[in-house]
């Protein structure tokens, strides 16, 4: 499913500043990263040598983060405890200029906390600290009042029901009343065993497993999905149900219309944490902007595909969404030629996956066996290799008139066709220093005719813990020698 760049850019332009209410189960997601080198002598379990950790808003908090990342202004309503994770949640909200704090304090329950322990890109263990009992009394009353206040001027209300106790009957009624009063679209992300208790909401968004649980039907094939959606619509008042299906895309059932199956080429999945939150945020804010539901589903599909390529509970911004859509129109060769900004994002994703990123640069005017040997050696030292490529003007400044022989586009495409090269990024400056700063490679490679301390960027790379290596040359091969032979001078 492709929206097309023009349609997507127009839609994203309408999202800026839209007010969206996000209410539901707020969590703190903590990711503890480390290395595993041995098994415990006490039990057959790996020992994680902790290196660092990240903390971010999860659950409904991640929905709010994704609304803000897409250009909207989110109001986050949920419950936190009087504890350290609750203080972390408030601090995380305070750092987000486009998220308004509507959190309600409940001193009788802990803040929902999920701790994930990760090594080499794989989760080893998740530990949850939470209470799932329904909120009641003054806490529920405070939530209801917060919904009524926050909905004024909102284009959408997004109800994120993880089943942790915040989405009570009273809260649902408050959301329905607020949607009727303001005209806001009401979308529910539900993990419940049925959807009837939500009432006449606009859209319910389960995943395939949740739809199966709610209908007691299998949801593996398109035909099974269609039967389950029909049963789900018959048993509830929702105007539509959108089921997310991981690599199979999404399927949309609008009441009274045939089911539409929406599929894109599957992304390279690294971490699915929070992808459903992203889909809810994108769907909701697009509907708030007045987009037809097919366009809103398209945005949700693109945005969720962006975040599964990232580590942790992530967000998708407009530039990343446009890039993902543009990638559908690129050939595999063109996809390896990147701007500096896209290179920086791709390199960051590679590092987050635990991949060793290498960087080298050059003119690569007339590709010869020496170049192939050099690049192959550089790629053997890393998991991904970025090549900074001098533009035509920068080559003329370096080499003089008559160079380059081949223009930038031709040189970039030839390099992109090599198996040893993962990304090609042109640069117009005399040195690649800005690209090195943007890429933050773990490995910087130059030819053996350099001294290590003369390699541009060596101090930067070693400063952040990287390595500089010199690759050997293949004797008898150079661009200058090739040009001499062509001119009959050798």
> Where do the structural domains in the chain lie, given as residue ranges?
5-329, 333-486
Q: Any idea which fold 333-486 has?
A: Rossmann fold (3.40.50)
In angstroms, what CA-CA distances link 188 with 2, 180, 191, 239, 316? Answer: 25, 15, 10, 11, 20
Extended beta strands in 81-208, E state: 99-105, 112-119, 122-129, 156-161, 185-190, 203-204
Q: What is the pTM of this model?
A: 0.76
Give all strands of the β-sheet with 26-39 in edge-to-edge order.
46-59, 26-39, 112-119, 122-129
Question: What does the pLDDT read at residue 270?
Answer: 65
Question: What does the pLDDT read at residue 3?
Answer: 83
Question: What does the pLDDT read at residue 338?
Answer: 87
**pLDDT of the chain, 490 residues: tens digit per residue:** 678 778 888 999 999 999 999 999 999 999 999 999 999 999 999 999 999 999 999 999 999 999 999 999 999 999 999 999 999 999 999 999 999 999 999 999 999 999 999 998 788 999 999 999 999 999 999 999 999 999 999 999 999 999 999 999 999 999 999 999 999 999 999 988 899 999 999 999 999 999 999 999 999 999 999 999 999 999 999 999 999 998 889 999 999 999 999 988 777 666 677 789 999 999 999 999 999 999 999 999 999 988 888 776 788 888 888 888 877 767 677 788 888 888 998 898 898 888 999 999 999 988 888 899 999 999 999 999 999 999 988 888 887 777 788 888 889 999 999 999 999 999 989 899 999 999 999 999 998 888 888 899 999 999 999 999 999 876 655 655 554 555 555 5
Q: Which helix (H) or strand (E) holds 41?
A: none
Handedness of CA 459, 461, 466, 468 (dihedral sign): negative
Question: What does the pLDDT read at residue 271?
Answer: 64
Catalytic positions, please?
277
- Do 69 and 320 contact (CB within 8 A), yes or no? no
Q: What is the CATH number of domain 5-329?
A: 3.40.1190.20
CA 218, chain centre distance (Å) = 29
């Amino acid at each position: 499913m492709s929206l097309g760049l023009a349609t997507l850019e127009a839609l994203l332009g309408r999202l800026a500043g839209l007010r969206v209410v996000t209410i539901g189960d707020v969590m703190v997601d903590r990711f503890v990263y480390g290395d595993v080198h041995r098994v415990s002598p006490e039990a057959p379990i790996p020992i994680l040598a902790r290196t660092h950790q990240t903390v971010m808003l999860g659950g409904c908090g991640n929905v709010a983060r994704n609304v803000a990342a897409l250009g909207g202004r989110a109001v986050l309503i949920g419950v936190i405890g009087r504890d350290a994770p609750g203080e972390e949640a408030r601090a995380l909200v305070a750092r987000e200029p486009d998220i308004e704090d509507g959190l309600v304090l409940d001193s009788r329950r802990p803040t929902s906390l999920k701790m994930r322990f990760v090594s080499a890109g794989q989760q080893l263990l998740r530990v949850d600290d939470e209470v799932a009992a329904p909120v009641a009394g003054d806490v529920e009353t405070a939530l209801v009042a917060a919904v009524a206040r926050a909905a004024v001027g909102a284009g959408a209300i997004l109800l994120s029901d993880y089943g942790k106790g915040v989405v009570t009957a009273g809260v649902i009624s408050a959301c329905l009343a607020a949607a009727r009063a303001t005209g806001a679209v009401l979308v529910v992300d539900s993990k419940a065993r049925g959807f009837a208790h939500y009432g006449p909401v606009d859209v319910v968004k389960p995943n395939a497993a949740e739809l199966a649980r709610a209908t007691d039907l299998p949801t593996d094939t398109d035909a099974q999905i269609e039967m389950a959606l029909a049963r789900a619509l018959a048993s509830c008042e929702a105007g539509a149900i959108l089921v997310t299906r991981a690599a199979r895309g999404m399927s949309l059932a609008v009441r009274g219309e045939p089911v539409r199956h929406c599929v894109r080429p599957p992304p390279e999945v690294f971490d699915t944490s929070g992808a459903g939150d992203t889909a809810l945020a994108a769907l909701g804010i697009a509907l708030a902007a007045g987009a037809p539901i097919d366009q809103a589903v398209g945005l949700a599909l693109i945005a969720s595909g962006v975040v599964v390529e990232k580590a942790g509970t992530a967000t998708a911004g407009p530039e990343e969404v446009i890039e993902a859509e543009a990638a559908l129109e690129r050939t595999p060769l063109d996809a390896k030629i990147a701007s500096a900004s896209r290179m920086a994002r791709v390199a960051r994703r590679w590092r987050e996956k635990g991949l060793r990123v290498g960087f080298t640069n050059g003119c690569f005017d007339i590709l010869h066996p020496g170049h192939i040997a050099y690049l192959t050696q550089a790629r053997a030292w890393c998991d991904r290799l970025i090549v900074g490529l001098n533009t035509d003007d920068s080559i003329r400044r370096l080499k003089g008139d008559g160079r380059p022989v081949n223009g930038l586009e031709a040189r970039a495409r030839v390099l992109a066709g090599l198996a040893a090269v993962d990304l090609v990024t042109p640069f117009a400056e005399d040195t690649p220093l800005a690209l090195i700063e943007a890429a933050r490679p773990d490995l910087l490679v130059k030819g053996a005719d350099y001294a290590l301390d003369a390699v541009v960027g060596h101090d930067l790379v070693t400063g952040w813990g990287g390595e500089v290596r010199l690759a050997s040359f293949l004797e008898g091969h150079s661009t200058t020698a090739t040009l001499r032979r062509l001119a009959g001078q050798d």
